[in-house]
Amino acid sequence: MTEKIWKLKEGVELNADVAEEVAKIACALKSLALYTALACDHEDDPEELQGIVDEGVKAMENLFE
């Protein structure tokens, strides 16, 4: 990957290779969050799935700007 897709927050330290892999996971999670938001509109009880996705997004926000 030639261009960084996420920028680490100040004070967060990760090995460059690890940061790149975590950024890929963050992108996938962000996509999942959007998908979940759409899917939840059509489900009767999506709270558990939404909670898992929200927790992952929060963790991602702790690391990246």
Q: pTM for this structure?
A: 0.53
Joined together, the tokens standing for residue 38 give 């759409």
Run of H or E residues at 50? helix 47-63
pLDDT in tens, 33-44: 787 777 777 665
Q: Long-range contacts made by residues 13-21, C-beta under 8 angstroms, separation at least 24?
A: 14/63
Angstrom distance (rounded) from CA 60 to CA 7: 11
CB atoms closer than 10 angstroms to residue 53: 20
pLDDT in tens, 10-51: 898 888 888 888 878 887 888 887 877 777 776 655 677 777
